[in-house]
Amino acid sequence: MGFLKFLDQAGAVCTYIRNFFFNILFFIFLFLGVISFFCFLGILTLMADNGRASASNVKNPKSPVLSVVINSPVMDAPPVESVSHFLLNALKNNSPREYFYLQDFRKAIARAADDKKIKAVVIRLGDEASLRLDQAKVMGSDLKKFQEKGKKVYIYSEAYDRNTYALASYVKENVYAHPLGGIFLMGYQLKSLYFKELLDNAMITVFTPKAGAYKSAIEPFNQNEMSPHVKAEYQGIADDLWDQYKKLISENRPGAAVQNFVFGSQNYLEIMKKSQGDSAMAAASGHLVDKLTDYDTFMEDVAKAESISLKTDKESYRRRLETLTFRDYLRISSDSNPQKSKNKIAVIFGSGEITSTSEYYWDFTSENLVPQINKAIEDSSVKALVLYLDTPGGDVFASDLIRSRVEAFRKSGRKVVIYMSGMTASGGYMISTASDYIVAEPTAITGSIGVFAMAGNFSKLANFAGVHVDGAGSEGSQSLSVLEPFPETYKAMAQLEIDHTYEMFLKMVAGARNMSVDKVRPLAEGRIYTGTQALKIGLVDKLGGFDDAVAEAAKLAKIDNSYQVVFSKPIVSDDISDLGIGIIKAVSLVNEPLALKILNSYLPAPKNLVPQENGKPRTVSFIPFTVQ
């Protein structure tokens, strides 16, 4: 009995220990679950505070005036949101930068134009405001329609540059500037830096095979100045863009001789002499702006004209107009039950240099665009696709992969329209060859149909420093090294490969534009064109804006009576469960660096844009400059 009693007591002890540990585990999971739940609610609250606040939290919902502040680059595509990146910013105490999204602006202004409660729009251009001319034209056109309804627009900037003034030119009678600011206009220029002498001095050898006499991207590495034929081409582009700009301003503000106010010109120098160096007064005298004043006085003018209050914030002690931001207006004016159509036109955005992969969801990569195109292919309600492009081109393989998926969409019996906004050149034009129709902005840069590759080595520098390479290897073991000269056979083979890719490119263009290769060849050669020039030679089908591209897509798909435009976004996977987010947030309360380290382990690591095997040069197809 004594032994049995011992076993009974031992069993009780084991049961106690087992229950104790099970209870500990239960409370741990219960704690983590509660933490996870509240952290998830906290994230939702943070995200709401960051831009998705409910209508009940919107300030001044009854204001008859919308306010628009632009203090960042204007973005074509809608924002891409990721819980993990948002949480990372929250842990780092970083406020996500407030970008200005073109499509949100357009939607708000279109609704406000038909809203009897909205009487005016006030636009404030900050120091970091920047936009392309085509964006200014789209926004200005919307503001023009708003004003045609008998409503007013007010715009203020300390100093306007060429493109922000293009936007301001659409505003009637209420263009304000600071007395010490004014308008600073520059003509168009297309320039590049040239490095041949620097590379020679550094004893760096660059191998740059190309196809296309006008393919100028490699000139900076093997010349010290621009080729005469390229310079003549660029001069024609700059002159065409400037002529279009002058025409736009003269149509919007008759009597404003904008060509006399180009910074650095002789005419402007004479004007500045007459105004004794007062550039703002010169702009007002030339009818480019309507009133010169500081921002506080501007607000007073708007408050008086629109019968709204101008109050001082009790926390910041800054004065502000009792207006309604256009983002808040979108929230409170959005349709609670938006009508859905069986006929959709999907819009996919591609902006920036084309690459295969990137660490950012919004970059123009095959990794980001191909899944979006595949999604459109799988969705039978998508009757047409509009590709909204702004790119100088990029990686040939990524461009062709995207092009092939666009072609797959067309083979499903549906239509594709390309919209060329700021620039759609080289690899961007390659993608365009898979479309049914191309709409280009008159000021868009396109063409650059050509191919090049680039590789470099330091063999001269290594030899100069006393480093030499020697050895033996079997047949076919020759590889490229940054410390050895390029083999002549390799150079010849690389050029053959470039020529082959170029011929394939020409055939794509010929097939898409119903031309012979012989007719396309002189139009290619890496030449670039404005949209206006491209229309004349048959590389695009129509000049127009994004709305024109959508209308053409609807027409081609024969759904022009009823359709829904759907803006596609990159397909984002956070790979973090709600429980994982809760744990990370809980850890951050005790050890924020550890939380950041854990979270970073979940986020996608930066990837090489294009794998380089044995030093093989990356084959690319893009233009090396931005239009300034």
Q: Where are the beta strands (DSSP E) in 531-582?
A: 542-543, 564-567
Comparing 214 with 299, the larger pLDDT belongs to 299
Which comes out higher in pLDDT, residue 149 or 314?
149
Reduce the DSSP state of residue 170 to 3 states and report it.
coil
User: What's the whole-number mean pLDDT along residues 532-559?
Assistant: 96
Q: Is the pLDDT of residue 339 over 70?
A: no
CA angle 544, 545, 550 (to 5 degrees): 105
Q: Please give the average per-residue pLDDT across 556-574, as a whole number.
A: 84
* pLDDT for position 609: 30
| Span 73-86, average pLDDT | 74
pLDDT band of residue 581 (cuts 50, 70, 90) is low
Examine the pLDDT at 21 and tell me if it is beyond 70: no
User: What confidence score (pLDDT) does residue 334 get?
Assistant: 66
Q: Which letter, b or e, does each residue of 580-601 get, where b requires 16 or more Cβ atoms within 10 Å of its Cβ? A: bbbbbbbbbeeeeeebbebbee
Average pLDDT over residues 171-180: 94
334: how many CB neighbours lie within 10 A of its CB?
11
Beta carbons of 619 and 424 less than 8 angstroms apart:
no
Q: Return the percentage of the chain with pLDDT > 90, whole number.
A: 47
Q: Which residue has the higher pLDDT, 319 or 344?
A: 344
pLDDT for position 606: 38
Token pair, residue 498, equals: 């470039």
Q: Does 625 have pLDDT greater than 60?
A: no
pLDDT recorded at residue 534: 96
Give the per-residue pLDDT at 584. Answer: 64
- Write down the pLDDT at residue 48: 45
Residue 151 near residue 179 (C-beta atoms within 8 A) = no
Q: What is the mean pLDDT of residues 374-391?
A: 95
Ranges 12-21, 207-216, 406-415: which has the least confidence: 12-21
Q: Averaged over 150-174, what is the pLDDT?
A: 95
Element (DSSP H or E) covering residue 15: helix 2-47
Which residue's entry shows tokens 């469960």?
A: 577
The mean per-residue pLDDT over the stretch 107-111 comes to 94
Q: Give the burial class of 618: count Cβ atoms within 10 A of its Cβ; 0-12 exposed, 13-18 middle, 19 or more buried.
A: middle
Q: Which two tokens stand for residue 23?
A: 């209870």
Q: What is the mean pLDDT of residues 11-30?
A: 55
For position 1, what pLDDT does the model report? 47
| pLDDT given for residue 626 in this prediction | 47
pTM confidence score:
0.81
DSSP state of 158: E
Share of the chain above pLDDT 70, in %: 76
Q: Is 231 a residue whose pLDDT tops 70?
A: yes
> Residue 50 — pLDDT band, cuts 50, 70, 90?
very low
Q: How far apart are CA 179 and CA 159, in angstroms?
A: 9
Mean local confidence (pLDDT), 520-545: 95
Check whether 131 has a pLDDT greater than 90: yes
* 191 vs 111, residue with greater confidence: 111
534 alpha carbon, distance to own chain's centre: 23
Rounded mean pLDDT, 470-490: 78
- For the segment 532-561, the average pLDDT, to the nearest whole number, is 94
**Going from the N-terminus, what domains does the chain have, and what CATH number goes with each?**
58-197+217-333 (3.90.226.10), 344-467+481-573+611-622 (3.90.226.10)
Check whether 252 has a pLDDT greater than 50.
Answer: yes
Q: What is the pLDDT of residue 531?
A: 96
Pairwise CA distance, residues 241 & 442, whole Å: 9
pLDDT value at 327 more than 50? yes
Per the prediction, the chain carries an average pLDDT of 82
Model confidence over 199-210: pLDDT tens digits? 888 888 887 888
Residue 2 has pLDDT above 60, yes or no: no
Helix (H) or strand (E) holding 177: strand 175-183
Q: Of 23-37, 470-484, 586-600, which has the strongest mean pLDDT?
A: 470-484
The mean pLDDT value for 194-223 works out to: 84
pLDDT score, position 44? 45
Q: Select from 441, 394, 529, 447 the least CA-distant residue to 132.
A: 441
What distance in Å separates the CA atoms of residue 344 and residue 358, rounded to the nearest whole number?
A: 29
Contacts 24+ apart (CB under 8 A), 496-501: 497/453, 497/619, 498/209, 498/210, 498/211, 498/451, 498/452, 498/453, 498/619, 499/211, 501/211, 501/396, 501/451, 501/619
**Residue 593 pLDDT > 80:** no
Closest-CA residue to 218 (of 618, 533, 614, 585): 618
Is 301's pLDDT higher than 50? yes
Residue 436 pLDDT:
97
Other CB atoms within a 10 A radius of the CB of residue 292 amount to 19
Q: What is the pLDDT of residue 32?
A: 53
Per-residue model confidence (pLDDT) at position 220:
86
